[in-house]
Structures are given as structure tokens and as C-alpha cells.
Amino acid sequence: MKNNTKKVLIPTKLDSIAKDLLSATGRYTVIQQETSDLLALAKEHPDTHALIVRSEKVTKELIDALPSLRVIVRAGSGYDTIDTRYARKKEIDVMNTPGANANAVAEQVIALILANARHLIGADASARSGKWEKKNFMGRELTGKTVGIIGLGAIGQLLAKRLEGFECKLVGYDPVISKDRAEQLDVALLELPQIFETADYVTLHIPETNETRGMVNASLLNLMKKGATLINCARAGVVNEDDVRKAKAERGICFLNDVYAKDAEGPKSVADIADIMLPHLGASTREANTNAARLAAEELIELDEKGISTRIVNRDIPVGLDRAYPELAFMLARLCRRFLGKGANLKLIETSFYGTLKPYAQWLLVPIVAALNKDFDRSLNYGAAIKYLDGMGVNYKDRVTDERKGFKNSITLDFFGETGKGMRKVSIRGTVTEKTTMISRIDDFHNLYFVPCGHTAVFTYKDRPGILGRIGAMLAEAGVNIDDVRNPHDSKSEESIAIMQINQQVPEDVLQKIADEINAERYFTINLGAS
């Protein structure tokens, strides 16, 4: 008889509640086996549907060894040990269980602070050896101190609550959290330099990403008070260890650490600078392990049975947003950049998202930035997009929209750039109608109804009779066929635009010859079928 259950592989020490919940549905066969050779175990179970892991690394090689794999669940919050981008390419959903370990980590931070402030580890060893060194272990009190919390997610918010009893002054940094929510937590939002400059304790609760890697470096550490304390229970890569080493020598800061580049036996690079170092115990409580296991199982069941996908972390678009609109945003940005001109120095991007698109404004910025640089991965987030624009010296503004204009589910992009002739602006609007991407306006050329696809030639010129025919004739001479054309006029500027879908790329010399012949204001070719 054929077994219709889905196989779930749990190659880690995880509370048995995950296996029990999955098995109880009757729809899963669960293999739970803690192992040091995950790849070998995977090869024994190539029909695995879902993989539930803790801190195990899920690499390309491992994913390739599981051809039936559809879901990876990280029983915990951080998922940097999983190759999420490769998983996405293989159409594998990656989920996590944020919040399951939050209280455990928050309590550990307080334990580290108190253990260090009162010298508990050294005093214990001294007392056990029969010594009585009270003078050597004069400590400090946490009460009344300023604590800076970097990252006000689940862990950071719980830490703020746990610190209430110590009557600390709380300052924090998080680019996402609202001011109202921070006020509810009694946390004053400050910029990073201000926090490092004023806090007695700085504790890190941020993921390791391209944005945050090495974020805590000399520029921030050199601002810390002498004798202040840095706590890292987040990820090793967010801290520049060499800069901590210098700051410790020069400013006498304390460093409390629970995270490493590799969770394994062997020498640790921070051993010489960590006042307290633990073997990544942040989530190691019975309660946290049970919570993470339960949530991992529940999320997998909800995804498979109900399609509930709110915990998927490697989708390039959110649930509820039609994929056609990120593609529209990408296409509009490519066109804006080409209309602005290769030599123009892009200075400002303004966006307007109408109708049901407004809640997805931050998501839609990502494909816009990806259109500017093919190396910008579309699986990155809004913060990465903003950081990229900042690095380019490009400002960004998302405008308040007026729904009375009737631009239902439309996107307008305005690009501003400096040219040799001053500031130039390009404005393009598009929408999706009957599942077809449509460009409706370019600058003051309205009612275009242009479907962007394939090889396209664009010319703008002073309106006068016969120009469109001359362009067509010169393209024909070069063996280029016109499949479609849009040729509206702007009565104010007395300009026309010719947008032509053609069957092949126009040679550069032919393009230049046409531009010279018609005295084109702007001209270019672009393949709108390629990224």
C-alpha cells in the first residue's frame, strides 16, 4: 500500500513536541535523529518534504541532496545558517519561529550584565579555592544605568520589559519600530552614535546581513564611555573583533559574548577580549526549546494544510501582492534610468503607489533599486535598498497619494538627475490591466497604452510632419522591422515621442544616424524582455 504521508527530517536536538504534533495529524512521517553528519543523513532520506533545524547549516549541497524538499523550518529566529537565496531558486520556502527564544535571550543578557558587574564568575572561583578577596571584587549596580538596545524586535522588546525593575534609562535603535511603540516600552529612540556615546551598556539584537555585518566597528566603539560594556548575543559578524580589541585596550570597555563564527569545539578568536564568553546558550532553556519545537511544527502544518505563509522569510514579494506589480516597478525604473540618460547623475527618486499597492511601498522599492544595479539581489529588503541608495548618494521619497485621481493600482516613478545642462526630471506611470503590464504615461506624453516587452527603440523630437516615416524607412534600410509603434504629441512642449517595438537590436551606428537625421532630443534602445 502506498504511503501518502510527507517525510519530515529533524536532524537536531529538539523537544519531542514537534514530532508528536506532526505525527498526530497522520499526514507526516517524522525522522528525528541528532547527527553530526547532516549531509549523510539527508542522502539516506532524499524524499524529505520538510527539514526542521536549529543551528545546523543548510547549504547548497545539502539542499541538492534533498530533491523533494519543499520547506525548511528554522526552530529559532535567526536564519543566516540557511542559504535562503538558493532555497528560493529551488522553490523551497524557508520559515523561522521568531519570538520562541526571545525571553530566554533577554534573560541571559541580564544574567551576563549582573554576572560581570558583580564579578560572580571570578568571585566564585576565588571563594572555592578558600580565598577571601572581597576588596578585589568590588562591583557595580545595574539600577539607574543607561542601557542601549540595538534592535527592538521580540528580544529587544522583552529585554526592555525585563529591565523595568532595575529602573534603567533605556535608549534604543531600530529603523522599523514606530515612535509610539518605543514610547510604550519607555525606550527613547536615538541614532547609533548617540547610543554608543551615552550608554553604560550596549546590547545587540540584530540579524547578520549585508547591512549589519561589521556594523559595530571603531567608529562606534570609540564613542563608548570608558569602562562601558558591550554585549553580543546576536551574531558574531555584526561586531568587528579587531576594533573591539583596540577599544578594550584604549578605553577599558567590557565585552560579553555568546556568539561565534562557528558553533563548534575549538579555539575562539574572542577568547582574549571577552570578559565572559558562553557557548551560544541564549536559546538554551527547556522552555525556549519547547516553544521553538511547537511553533516549528504548527507553522509547517498550517503551511501545508491552509497555505498560511506569513512566516516565510525568503520570498521576494509579500503575501497579497500580485507578482506583476514588482515586475512593473522594475520595468518603470529601467525605463526612467534610460530616459534620464547614461551621463545623468541620479540624485532623487520619488514614488507614488496608488490603490491597494500603497501598503506594499517598502517591498516595491526593492525591484526599483534592483533595476539600477543587476547585482542588487531582489530577495533583499527595504533597509538594504535604502542603504544602497544612500551609498549612491540618491535620496528617496515615497509621496502621499491622492486617490481622487483615479489611478487605481498604478505606480508613478519620478527620477531626478544632474546633467551638463542642469537638473533633469523623468516621470513614468504604469499599471497592470488584464494581467498585462502597461505604460500609460511618460512625462507629458499621455495615453500611451504601451506594453513594454522585447527590443524597443525610443526617440523624442520636435513635432513636425514626416518624422515617423523617416525613422521607419531608416530602420527598414538596416533590416529592422517595426512590430508596434506609439507616437503621441505634447502640445505644450511641441514634442513628440516615438516608441517602437522592433524585431531586433538596432546597431549603434544606425541609431546615431537616425538621431542625427531627425535631430532627436533623446534616443536609446532597450531590451525590455531582459533584466
Per residue in 289-317, pLDDT (tens digit) is: 999 999 999 999 999 998 877 788 887 77
pTM: 0.61
Residue 171 has what pLDDT?
A: 97
Residue 94's closest CA among 152, 122, 53? 53
Residues 6 or more apart in contact with residue 283 via CB below 8 angstroms: 76, 100, 101, 104, 105, 289, 292
Q: Among residues of the chain, what percentage have pLDDT more than 90? A: 69
Alpha carbon distance 255, 236 (integer Å): 12
Region 211-232: what's the mean pLDDT?
Answer: 94
pLDDT at 1: 41
* 12 vs 35: CA distance, rounded Å: 7
- The pLDDT value recorded for residue 418 is 86
The predicted model gives 103-127 an average pLDDT of 97
Which residues share a beta bridge with 485?
A: 500
Task: Look at residue 177 in the predicted model and tell me its pLDDT.
Answer: 72
Q: Give the pLDDT confidence of 45-63 residue by residue, as tens digits.
A: 999 999 999 989 999 999 9
238-240-245 Cα angle (round to 5): 140
Torsion sign (Cα): 378, 380, 385, 390: negative
pLDDT of residue 30 exceeding 50, the answer is: yes
The confidence score (pLDDT) of residue 375 equals 67
Instruction: Report the interhelical angle of 467-477 vs 508-518 (nearest 10°).
Output: 160
> What does the pLDDT average to over 237-241?
96
User: Average model confidence (pLDDT) for the chain?
Assistant: 91
- pLDDT given for residue 392 in this prediction: 77
Instruction: Encode pLDDT of 338-380 as tens digits.
Output: 999 877 889 899 999 999 999 999 999 999 998 888 767 777 7
Domains annotated on the chain, with CATH: 6-100+288-306 (3.40.50.720), 102-277 (3.40.50.720), 324-527 (3.30.70.260)
Distance of alpha carbon 254 from alpha carbon 276, whole angstroms: 9
Q: Is 362 helix (H, G, I), strand (E, B) or coil?
A: helix
